[in-house]
Amino acid sequence: MTELGMTRRATMRGLALGGALILAPGALAAVAAPDRRSATTAALLRTTFPHRALTDDFYRSVADRYLKEVAADPAAMKAHDLGLAELDGSHIAPFAELPAVIRRSLVEKVDQLPFFKALQWRGAEMIYRDPAVWKLVGYEGSSVEYGGYLERGFNDIDWLPKAAAGGQG
């Protein structure tokens, strides 16, 4: 943690706690504006779970659902906002508008913080429980209604070396 970073985080904490708006330029929008919060969260989700085939709208909708859940816990929302402020505070551009490689390096600085761990865990559930994502990665899900995979490819592998494929049964 740099001294500058410490100062900025302390400032953000003061902001969130006291509501007194003594502003650093990059920090303004991160705490308050719902649009910025949503955009930064969506960009953070894409940086954490980057799939080229998933659209910005997809990450935005996951972000909005996530924020709605976090809103139920003011302390968690405060921590989330502080984390976003850290990401948006680069003084170059808002996090969501930065190139992927820079976004990655910024996330590396916060990836041990509880707000990020929480987003990772719940984000993994929201993204990888989504049937649209299953389709993308090639997972077929519930099978009982189709009689299982017994007649639907449970043993259809065709690329193994012939000599080795013995099998017992």
Partner 1 sequence: MTSFALNDSSVFVVIGSGAAGGTLANELAQRGHKVVCLEAGPRLQMADIVNDEAEMFGKLTWLDRRMATGKPDPNFPVWNCKTVGGTTMHWTAACPRLEPHEMRALTTYGVMPDTTLVDWPVTPEELEPWYQKAELRLGVTGKNGLPFLPPGNNFKVLEAGARKCGYTDIDTHHMAINSIDRDNRPACHQLGFCTSGCAIGAKWSTLYTEIPKAEETGRFELRPECMATGIALNDAGRVESVTYLHNGKSVTQKARAVAVAGNVVETTRLLLNTKSARFPNGLANSSGLVGRNYMRHFTIQVMGVMPGKVHFYRQTHLAGVVRDERGHRPERGFAGGFLINTVPFTPEILAKNMLIGGWGHELTDILAKYDYLAGMLLTGEDPPQLSNAITLHATERDGYGLPVPVVHYEDHPNTIAMKNYAWKAGRRIYEALGAEQIVEMGDYIPATHNMGTARMGTDPKASVCTPYGQTHDVPNLFVSDGSLFPTSGGCNPTLTIVALVLRQAEHIDQALKAGRL
Of 23 and 139, the one with the shorter C-beta distance to partner 1 is 139
Instruction: Please report how close the Cβ of residue 16 comes to partner 1 at its closest, in angstroms.
Output: 25
Instruction: Please report how close the Cβ of residue 57 comes to partner 1 at its closest, in angstroms.
Output: 18
Binding site for partner 1 (CB under 8 A): 47-51, 104, 107, 111, 120-121, 124-125, 127-129, 133-134, 136-145, 147-150, 152-161, 164-169
Of 19 and 142, the one with the shorter C-beta distance to partner 1 is 142
Nearest to 45 by CA among 112, 106, 127, 131: 127
What is the C-alpha to C-alpha distance for residues 46 and 60, in angstroms, rounded to an integer? 9
CB atoms within 10 A of CB 118: 18
Of 1 and 164, the one with the shorter C-beta distance to partner 1 is 164
